[in-house]
Amino acid sequence: MRYTIFGESHGPAIGVVLEGVPAGLELDLKAMDQDLSRRAPGKDGLSTARQEADKVHILSGLFQGKTTGTPLAMVIPNSDQHSGDYESLRWTPRPSHGDYAGFISSKGCLDYRGGGHFSGRLTAPLVAAGSVAKQLLARENIWVAAHISSIYGILDRPWEDVEELKTAAIKPFPVLDDGKGEEMRQAILEAKEDQDSVGGSIECAVAGLPAGLGAPDFGCNVEGIFSQSLFAAPAVKAVAFGAGVGFSYMRGTEANDPFTVQDGKVFTKTNHAGGVNGGITNGMPLVFEVTLRPTPSIALPQESVDLRTGEEVEIEIKGRHDPCVVHRAVPVIEAAAALAACETLGI
């Protein structure tokens, strides 16, 4: 399965084409809508005021409710665009956004309105594709679930069993510990009040993957496959498996996962490795954490450059922006993980 996401924030539509979808999947469009609504901006002041219907139109690859095995094209029309908000930013790239890099790579031809192809809006088709992937995984008893593991340094507690993670994932504010969630929301609102933004992290688990998938080699390595998919989600700046950066503080005795046997099946007592050894799944849940940078679009004045004159200028970003994208990114990370899991399984 291979996906291609297309579209610009203020163009006629965004969408995705999924190739290699196995035939015969009864596609649950309601489940897809639910995932899409998890990433939609809320009405709680934590997100952008831009409202999008995110209605998926399926153009191909589905017949009488089932996938046909031919490319599945899904399109989401754009609406509620305030393109005028962006005109002033055409030649003055917003710091840490894709504007400048995109200006160079497009030879000055990029659609600068609303972030164009760099817009967080492009995560909607990613979530739609991820929903198809999740439904394919579910047939193999594999599920994917994520929660906010931290926002602005406020940490959620670790998950203890699979069910509580699955439950947390679909909450409106997906944390295990709602008290911590409340603290995180406060941090977001304070940042908003300060015309600023905050970063955070998401922990995700893929459970049910059989042992023995992948290889140590470039291109087949499970961590490599997942990381490539995860870094394609906007704002992701770090990907860490199992104990992750914590490994750098550890000794082998702490880090190693001892083997044990239960009901004739081999397990490890701990899962510091995050389900992968030597680039191959070991049968334990695949667990990883991604770090998301604070939204670069903040309302405070910032230093930029006028690309026409080469002069330094101060800019103020208008438009409607998220003070934090972490809570909305939970289904996005699940989607990227689900697509990577399909690749790992050779689906």
Question: Which one of residues 54, 111, 203, 334 is an interface residue with its own copies (CB under 8 A)?
Answer: 111
Q: What is the C-alpha separation between 311 and 326, in angstroms, rounded?
A: 34
Question: Which one of residues 232, 318, 320, 345 is an interface residue with its own copies (CB under 8 A)?
Answer: 232
Hey, which residues between 299 and 338 contact its own copies (CB under 8 A)? Answer: 300, 302-305, 307, 310-312
- Give 31's contacts (C-beta < 8 A, 6+ positions apart): 131, 134, 135
Structure tokens at 276: 């992968």
Q: What is the C-alpha separation between 254 and 340, in angstroms, rounded?
A: 29
Nearer to its own copies, 42 or 71 (CB): 71
Shortest spacing between CB 82 and its own copies, in angstroms: 17
Question: Which one of residues 30, 43, 160, 249 is an interface residue with its own copies (CB under 8 A)?
Answer: 249
Structure tokens at 271: 């899962």
Question: Which one of residues 241, 287, 329, 337 is an interface residue with its own copies (CB under 8 A)?
Answer: 241
Work out whether 268 is an interface residue with its own copies (CB under 8 A).
yes
Hey, which residues between 25 and 64 contact its own copies (CB under 8 A)? Answer: 57-61, 63-64
Work out whether 125 is an interface residue with its own copies (CB under 8 A).
no
Query: Cα 60 from chain centroid?
Result: 25
Hey, which residues between 132 and 161 contact its own copies (CB under 8 A)? Answer: 150-153
Question: Which one of residues 114, 181, 214, 331 is an interface residue with its own copies (CB under 8 A)?
Answer: 214
Question: Which one of residues 128, 145, 169, 191 is an interface residue with its own copies (CB under 8 A)?
Answer: 191
In the numeric block, the tokens 């509620």 are attached to 80
- Helix (H) or strand (E) segment spanning residue 240: strand 236-241
Shortest spacing between CB 50 and its own copies, in angstroms: 18
Work out whether 342 is an interface residue with its own copies (CB under 8 A).
no
Binding part of the chain for its own copies, among 34-42, 98-106, 166-174, 327-335 by CB under 8 A, reads 98-106
Nearer to its own copies, 140 or 166 (CB): 140
Nearer to its own copies, 31 or 231 (CB): 231
**How many residues belong to the site for its own copies (CB under 8 A)?**
144
Nearer to its own copies, 22 or 179 (CB): 22
Question: Using CA atoms in the order 102, 104, 107, 113, what is the torsion angle rounded to 10 degrees?
Answer: 30
Nearer to its own copies, 61 or 331 (CB): 61
Q: What is the C-alpha separation between 207 and 185, in angstroms, rounded?
A: 29
Contact between 330 and 176 under an 8 Å Cβ cutoff? The reply is no
Reduced 3-state DSSP string for 3-41: EEEEECCCCCEEEEEEECCCCCCECCHHHHHHHHHHHCC
245: which DSSP letter?
G
